[in-house]
Amino acid sequence: MVRPIKPRRIIFDPSVTYFKPRAIPLSILEEVDLDVDELEAIRLCDLKKLDQVEAAKKMKISQSTLQRILTSAHKKIAEALIEGKAIKIIKKGRKIKK
């Protein structure tokens, strides 16, 4: 039996939830789904320049969980950029806490 995912504290609520390459119709693009918790980890570590321990505390998760989330997010973003795919930000049942 799989352990249930613990609630994660996500402060950032994105107003834009879709990115795609320019001049390519959406109907022919493949998509990469980026979870809002992956976006929050990217925001805290890469944009706000927090170290992983501080970012993990803000999200109320362990540092190792944050590392797995960041690795997944970086891989998805790289795949979208290199292979010309659209990025769709999904909330997937996550509550955004302010």
CATH class of residue range 19-90: mainly alpha
What pLDDT digit, counting tens, does each position of 7-61 carry?
788 888 888 889 999 999 989 999 999 999 999 999 999 999 999 999 999 999 9
Three-state DSSP state, 45? helix
Q: What is the model's pTM?
A: 0.85
Half-sphere exposure of 8 (CA within 13 A, CB side): 24
DSSP 4-60: PPPP--B----S--EE--TTS-GGG--EEEEEHHHHHHHIIIIIS---HHHHHHHHT
pLDDT at 44: 97
